[in-house]
């Protein structure tokens, strides 16, 4: 698919990996709907300015991906503004750290609701429009934690493994309509998610500062010896949007971490 003048929805598009994806798509000429929570309004506006700096149009939309009525409104607002939806990137996500036996039921539900149910709801809302046009791309952001179990991340791993299962199933169901569905599995990207949720626990376990823990972790645990960037994930999403004959795939962008 040529991306010039297409329309892409990026959930969780305000910051971090979502911003990297929004900018990579805008760089290719796609207009971008930045869908995120009201709590990150300032970051949404910053991303919109960067998208417009690429010469593309940006639409800001408040949407909690756990809520069907808000997801429906997001879809309608996109169609009202642009008349079409070519690309959906299910990127919104949350994480926390707790061993399974210590994990609250509410926290399990919260993480599964955003990461997995949100991906389901947004895909369900957008897919009929793509099917009708016999054209579309859905890209789901899974994780290296969707590939192998990780200590303290049972709920997050379950959600990200689930995203890959949903990706494969939806790829089968939408293939006859010429809509592709793929996943990208990032490894370690410096973002609020890492800084706020993962680094404190890692630094405590290493007995060091958060900055030192990040530097050592990415140097010693990632085979390529460095973290990935939001731009790397954007590049993979752009690749999958261009590709006409890739569906049901889950592409690692993790510096080799899955082998570690
Ligand atoms: N950072 C990493 O190393 C890494 C690795 C693998 C996978 N991922 C995945 O990449 C995606 C982006 O993560 P990030 O690292 O940029 O984190 P982040 O916290 O910086 O960004 C997540 C975004 O999702 C939004 N969001 C959260 N709950 C939402 C909801 N209910 N509805 C709509 N938006 C919501 C947040 O407001 C935020 O803008 C997530 O799916 C995450 O699981 C991240």
pLDDT, position 259: 84
195 lines ligand 1 (CB under 6 A): no
- What is the pLDDT averaged over residues 100-129? 98
- What is the pLDDT averaged over residues 48-54? 98
Domains of the chain, residue spans = 7-189+229-253, 190-227
- pLDDT tens digits, 154-171: 999 999 999 999 999 999
CA pair distance 260, 189, nearest whole angstrom: 17
CATH number of the domain located at residue range(s) 7-189+229-253 in this protein: 3.40.50.720
62 lines ligand 1 (CB under 6 A): no
Q: Rounded to the nearest whole angstrom, what is the distance from the C-alpha of residue 141 to the centroid of ligand 1?
A: 9
Q: Strand 87-90's sheet: what is its strand order?
A: 58-62, 31-36, 7-11, 87-90, 136-141, 179-186, 250-253
Q: Residue 99 — pLDDT band, cuts 50, 70, 90?
A: very high
Alpha helices for 84-189 (secondary structure H): 105-112, 118-133, 154-174
Whether 7 contacts 86, CB under 8 Å? yes
Structure token digits, residue 79: 């169609």
Structure token digits, residue 171: 């790829």
Pocket test for ligand 1, best of 141, 193, 202 (most atoms within 8 A of CB): 193
For the chain, the average pLDDT equals: 97
**pLDDT of residue 20 exceeding 80:** yes
CA pair distance 158, 123, nearest whole angstrom: 19
pLDDT, position 4: 98
pTM over 0.95: yes
């Amino acid at each position: 698919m040529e991306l010039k003048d297409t329309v892409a929805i990026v959930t969780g598009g305000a910051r971090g990996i979502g911003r990297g994806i929004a900018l990579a798509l805008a760089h290719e000429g796609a207009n971008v709907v930045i869908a995120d929570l009201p709590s990150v309004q300032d970051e949404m506006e910053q991303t919109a300015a960067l998208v417009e700096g690429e010469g593309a149009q940006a639409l800001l939309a408040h949407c909690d991906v756990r809520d069907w009525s808000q997801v429906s409104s997001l879809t309608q607002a996109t169609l009202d503004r642009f008349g079409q939806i070519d690309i959906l990137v299910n990127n919104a996500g949350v994480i926390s750290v707790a061993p399974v036996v210590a994990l609250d039921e509410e926290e399990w539900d919260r993480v599964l609701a955003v990461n997995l149910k949100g991906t389901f709801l947004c895909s369900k809302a957008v897919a009929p429009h793509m099917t009708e046009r016999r054209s579309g791309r859905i890209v789901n952001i899974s994780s290296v934690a969707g590939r192998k179990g990780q200590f303290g991340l049972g709920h997050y791993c379950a959600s990200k493994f689930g995203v890959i299962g949903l990706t494969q199933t939806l790829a089968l169901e939408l293939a006859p309509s010429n809509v592709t569905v793929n996943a990208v599995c990032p490894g370690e990207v410096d973002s609020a998610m890492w800084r706020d949720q993962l680094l404190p626990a890692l630094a405590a376990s290493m007995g060091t500062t958060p900055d030192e823990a990040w530097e050592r972790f990415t140097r010693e645990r990632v085979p390529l010896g460095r973290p990935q960037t939001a731009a790397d994930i954007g590049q993979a999403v752009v690749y999958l949007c261009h590709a006409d004959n890739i569906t049901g795939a889950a592409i690692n962008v993790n510096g080799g971490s899955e082998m570690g």
